[in-house]
Structure 1
């Protein structure tokens, strides 16, 4: 049987050292036998036997290490910094900024114009297939991703604003994640930072102020103290601002009477939020690391809704209603804690995480209706929600033949309680509880055969869901699932072309809001609620991805069974009132394609991306079957210009075509963003000025075709903005915290 030489390369602080060259030399004449490059975790594998040879390890900025090869595992090789090589060095590289690694599309940030972008938020806006801003990102055709920083999941979007772009090494986008991720995770973004430097007290202070419709402000302090293997850290954030929205909604309802409602709404909302995170990590030695953190926060929102509703019955004016109100949402507390252990016991790698979350939210609503032809109305409601979750995840890894074997388990127990009271007998009070326990086991095997890499995985999940309403267990709404999810990924390199082919089986469970059967009041003809009867969606996806020089492309096909769509149901005895809710539809098939390229012409670095999504779906509408098969397209044109004085200017444009998504029709939209960035004092202080959505065209009209209700909505919000950001960094260093978290996908459902 073939044998291999394995080991791990670390620096003097025990941190993994990636991209170190490890070669096996013949002892007699020092001739090259075989070699390898250390991975992101510092590990390497040479497809050979020792045969009395010598292992030689080299890396830029470190002293060369030579040691006798005496067995299959050479252990941990610690590299010392070479003071003779640590002077001022200018490194110029021509390697592509875009590459494929396994089933991931990798964007290199270090030594590229992206390192001047500002924060991780700004970098992600420039990464192919990623759209969004300010922590709210989506992967093209794959929805909201799980985002990791150095293997640790991002639980609060403010963490992205705290990470400087200069500290980022690369960004990986995975659009077909395998068995080691929760079966409901459709996409993953992994951010890796540069190696750590410095000890003592350090951190980042950041302030962002600007105008959307009103003034808003965000203040952040990210502080650390490092000594030896110990790191103490705290992140403090305060966010305040007033927001404005304007919308027009047309609601056409087909019942015994044909109703047409025109709703004009103006929303003004004041938001105040404070967030604090405190923790420590301790590298006992190069083999063992432990840590913990605790998060708490409080949020208060005051919303002043103003509605004007005009109703027509069979084309005749029936009523005009003016509604004003005050809604208050108080989220306190937001407890979240994590502890982890990451280490090695011989060849066995151990990664253990445990998370606990508990949150409480109270919402009060007071609405006053003035009716033209009916009695005036006053609606008062009060809702209290509690959410809690416990989760643990254990991953064991072990070298196997030409690669690695990973096995693990994940357990999540979550509960939501909602107590809702309203002064309307037609809706009534409700008390609901959702309990869910998810037990999962997974296995993943990765092997390298020359230039061909293969990773196969299998995940088993047992889900037990119980739904209780007003103290009574609802047997027909409580469910148990047992599912197996296979995955397979194959990648190779043919000349300068990189290719990756992958298949995954996934599921998507409804959010707890979608499962909540509490009925909410919209107006006297329209109500809204979730659907406790929703079943999880099953997803099968096949994907082919390729990269050549500065070009890349991706094609994927997805089959969704029991997909979620919005729908309507009659409410009440006469059927005139309609309930907006959700249901499962038998299937939706979808084809996705995305291509991109980047260039450099002097001081100008443009990037062009284009994508298309085509679905095959017919739904019920007005007693007939309606086709929703018009494709959606996207075109992005991003420009970075290096001006004199080391000033970077970005001009980014995006256009989205009209088309269908599920049983909706989306209108076209576009935006133009510009930004100026300048760093001072050897990048310790930076200033950026940005103008977003200059022409205020980023919003999209949406038309829902819900059986016997047609809902057209035009909603504009504070997308257009002028923002000034000041940032000061002192003695900054890479976060040593290695906790990856448990129950990450479950947290997102809350």
Structure 2
């Protein structure tokens, strides 16, 4: 038997060398019938007549049940059995989580082509002491257009934050500041239950740190989204789906957890759901409390007037955080065709830090050295609220739907800081004191309206819709300084008032169907963008307006019963975040800070992906993308100061090869392997110098799951990431090992889980600059090593009375009710 990995690699190599071969395979007929042979066509559906993608279909001889032929359904649940001789047959179909279905006896004549009625499968459930049991999901599933990581039920997903769960997902990397990249590329669009977050990288990271992993159900990784999705996100979309209850009556769950690294952590959560005939109420609440530390060391030099100035910063930060997450809503099933829903969700919290920063400066021209000791006290508060009203309608024609969403979101933040800077010069006893205090409130308001319409056209489906969003961001920063004198005065360099407004109007059309054996999804999205940023203090304005088209295409075709090829293309955009355009300063000390760039422009990406699936388990993806003007985080110097900001850097090309392979080693031991290799190259001009840097990198993630006797289970995982480049920095390799064990009791309604993260404390972020004459080295070590203990109890009605899948609500709200994203 041939090695499936080698087979997949050879297919990729053969197709890449001549793209016309791929076009020929996907668009031409790949089979023919001989004289007197017949064909059977049909679909496999669930109890709601929804297609069951990739179900297995088997044709049996009616006389002795001998196997005649088999096939795997495509993404639309369709199958075609060709080359069948006339005779008496039975057809059976099955898929994980559903009971096997059988057709009535089939009498097939010679040279006949017949379309059979849809074969309906029932969900596989069995009653065990009033507990519903459904077939166990694999940890990672490759669906037609996305990879799904099933978080719920895994040990390592307990006692962690949602951000840490993302770090364990295939192809996902989270840096020391919480910025998220996918397959070696930044610019990921993060969605929560199908809704875009509209937050910057740092704010998204804070939101995910405030979410406990026990509240998560799945993580969907969509590298080439269809035209139905926003065009934002050059590397794709990560949709984080939270848990939902579907049983009638009242039910819920309670979670309590604690953790310890160098400092203590606490988390708790309560989920309630009450379902009656036409009304469904739900509410979730999570609370977290944490203390943690970070060591940040920075070494840099600055060439001024041909002389070298050396700087050595050693920073210790002790962080304190507590936060509340909540979500509540009601769904009214007005009748069989109309649904109305209202939901409110948000978060409230505050985090602060006590910083001690010691900076040794060797300053040329002054002939002496000095030490700056900075004691910082930072207090941050935030309050985020989103209100969603949604309406859905179905029609007599099956598959025809109209949905409408109206959202309002408000994000409020405050940052108050106090810095005590003392200067000591080594050549004298002269000391000086320099005090800073700042207040930086922000207020972001977002309004979104979205309309979607779906209508079947023959055996195909047509989707169309429109969306409009308006954003107003109000940011203020007032920084005051005090020297040896007693009076405070405003420091104009760091004080500002920044107003930002943005309006995006979009429309799309999406067509999906089949051309022979090839599944086709083609779409076009148009987005008109207008934004304006005004810096009141500095009397400067950054504005832009543009109309862009975003085509997308997805093709998938089975090669045989075990393997299939897919090809997808999309054009994407990433717009600067509100904070990245904001010219405000955030201080580490008086010579080291970060600031926004009001001249930052959007980046556009073309992405092409070839995928191969073997035996529904081995998944290989080869991706090529090119990004014009990639927005990149850089560290620059200005005199004696060093600051972090964002720039558009020339062109970024990226090649990525990923392999996902589950390996069942024994009945009690299974292994999931995710391996990726990617090559990144930046070209262009940066700071009047030629930019030409590249790096071949690899990511490896291996998860072992063990089913042990007496209701015990265990997991052991490891991660390795080789050196890579991010803009003008080369990042060193990083690795970690995690483990966990779980015990279930009380008829499996309760579980106790113990897990350990980064056991050997090797998750250290470090790197150095590779562009420019001023060199920078940094190393960041966080409290990544810790032990977590968590208890979960599920209560209420769990008898098997499944709620019908909500078909008429808006696309995003369907994620909340149905548990899958359209």
User: Which of 732, 739, 746 does residue 667 from structure 1 map onto?
Assistant: 732
Distance 1:384 1:695 in 2: 40
Matched, 1:140 2:183: yes
Distance 1:472 1:116 in 2: 49
Residue deviations 1:370-419 (CA, integer Å, cap 9, x gap): 11136321011111111110011111111123321111111110111111
Contact preservation (8 Å) 2:137, 2:150: no
Which runs of structure 2 are paired with 1:554-593 in the superposition (5 Å)?
Answer: 554-567=621-634, 571=638, 575-593=639-657
Aligned to 1:27: none
How many residue pairs match? The answer is 701
Q: Give the Å deviation of 1:349.
A: 1.1
Distance 1:633 1:21 in 2: 34
Residue deviations 1:670-704 (CA, integer Å, cap 9, x gap): 10000101222232101110000001111220223
Aligned to 2:415: 363
Change (3 A) 1:709 1:382: farther
Residue deviations 1:327-386 (CA, integer Å, cap 9, x gap): 11121x322111112331233311221111112211111000111136321011111111
Distance 1:184 1:584 in 2: 17
Change (3 A) 1:622 1:318: farther
Q: Which moved more, 1:733-742 or 1:628-637?
A: 733-742
Q: Give the Å deviation of 1:201.
A: 1.3
Aligned to 2:107: none
Distance 1:382 1:193 in 2: 35
Change (3 A) 1:22 1:401: farther
Unaligned runs of 5+ in 1: 24-34, 48-55, 67-73, 745-750
Matched, 1:321 2:372: yes
Aligned to 1:679: 744
Matched, 1:236 2:285: yes
Which runs of structure 2 are paired with 1:121-140 in the superposition (5 Å)?
Answer: 128-130=170-172, 139-140=182-183
Aligned to 2:486: none
Contact preservation (8 Å) 2:496, 2:538: no
Matched, 1:689 2:689: no
Contact preservation (8 Å) 2:691, 2:771: no
Distance 2:121 2:621 in 1: 39
Change (3 A) 1:696 1:15: farther
Distance 1:126 1:697 in 2: 15
Q: Give the Å deviation of 1:555.
A: 0.9
Contact preservation (8 Å) 1:201, 1:225: yes
Q: Which moved more, 1:371-380 or 1:455-464?
A: 371-380
Distance 2:133 2:270 in 1: 32
Aligned to 2:471: 414
Distance 1:647 1:403 in 2: 48
Contact preservation (8 Å) 1:63, 1:82: no
Q: Give the Å deviation of 1:516.
A: 0.6
Matched, 1:267 2:317: yes
Matched, 1:102 2:144: yes
Which runs of structure 2 are paired with 1:475-486 in the superposition (5 Å)?
Answer: 475=541, 477-486=542-551
Unaligned runs of 5+ in 2: 1-40, 58-69, 81-90, 105-115, 198-203, 426-430, 482-490, 816-822
Distance 2:633 2:122 in 1: 60
Aligned to 2:83: none
Contact preservation (8 Å) 2:375, 2:419: yes
Distance 1:236 1:534 in 2: 38
User: Which of 201, 221, 228 does residue 173 from structure 1 map onto?
Assistant: 221
Contact preservation (8 Å) 1:98, 1:106: yes
Matched, 1:723 2:788: yes
Which runs of structure 2 are paired with 1:134-533 in the superposition (5 Å)?
Answer: 139-143=182-186, 157=208, 161-163=213-215, 172-185=220-233, 186-189=235-238, 198-256=247-305, 257-314=307-364, 317-331=368-382, 333-347=383-397, 348-373=400-425, 375-424=432-481, 425=491, 427-470=493-536, 474-475=540-541, 477-495=542-560, 496-533=562-599
TM-score (norm 1): 0.82
Change (3 A) 1:663 1:131: closer
Distance 1:227 1:78 in 2: 27
Contact preservation (8 Å) 2:258, 2:266: yes
Contact preservation (8 Å) 2:711, 2:745: no
Distance 1:622 1:705 in 2: 13
Q: Give the Å deviation of 1:507.
A: 0.7
Contact preservation (8 Å) 1:354, 1:741: no
Contact preservation (8 Å) 1:434, 1:468: yes
CA-based RMSD = 4.3
